[in-house]
Amino acid sequence: MIEQIITETPKKLFHLSEENHDGEYFKPRIPNSIVTNGDYAEDDKVRRVCFSNSISGAFFAINFRGGYEKLYVHVPENIEDIVRRRKLCKPTQEQVFDVDYCGEYWIKCKVKLKCIGYIKIGYRFERFGWYKPKVHFKYLEKYAINI
């Protein structure tokens, strides 16, 4: 099934990274972090830059292995132009099994990122050796932006 093209500009979209990519352009690609086997295999054909409609959704979309302590929060610049060009879409559940849980969106063109801050993530040790992330986030620094 093909992803849905978004025709209305969303209020906000977020992309998390271990590095600050402020002012940099990202080109669509197949993410390194996709699930590649089993019932939860994700799309490995559509090139995209992944975003979420929430910071926690963006975190859960990348956090299968844990270990992050600090992540930079980015938003796409010129999102209105991206929507007008019909390059923003919502993948199907067949393409990304947790699309609704993570609030995932794809931008299918080169996109300039604006860093709006960074977050600190805490983990706690759970039974059976699992590290469970604390789901709340604390901004350590904020950048001026209208979102």
What's residue 130's pLDDT? 52
User: CA–CA separation, 64 vs 59, rounded Å?
Assistant: 9
| 2 neighbors 39 (Cβ within 8 angstroms) | no
Residue 84: band (very low, low, confident or very high) from pLDDT cuts 50, 70, 90 = very high
pTM score, whole prediction: 0.83
93-117: per-residue pLDDT in tens? 999 888 998 999 999 999 999 998 8
Handedness of CA 71, 103, 97, 15 (dihedral sign): negative
1-56: per-residue pLDDT in tens? 689 999 999 999 999 998 999 999 999 999 887 777 777 888 889 999 999 999 88
Residue 98: count other Cβ atoms within 10 Å of its Cβ.
15
Predicted confidence (pLDDT) at residue 133 exceeds the cutoff of 70: no
113-132: per-residue pLDDT in tens? 999 888 887 665 555 555 55
Helix (H) or strand (E) holding 138: strand 138-142
Predicted confidence (pLDDT) at residue 68 exceeds the cutoff of 80: no
Predicted confidence (pLDDT) at residue 80 exceeds the cutoff of 90: yes
HSE of 125 in the Cβ direction (CA atoms, 13 Å)?
Answer: 2
What's residue 144's pLDDT? 60
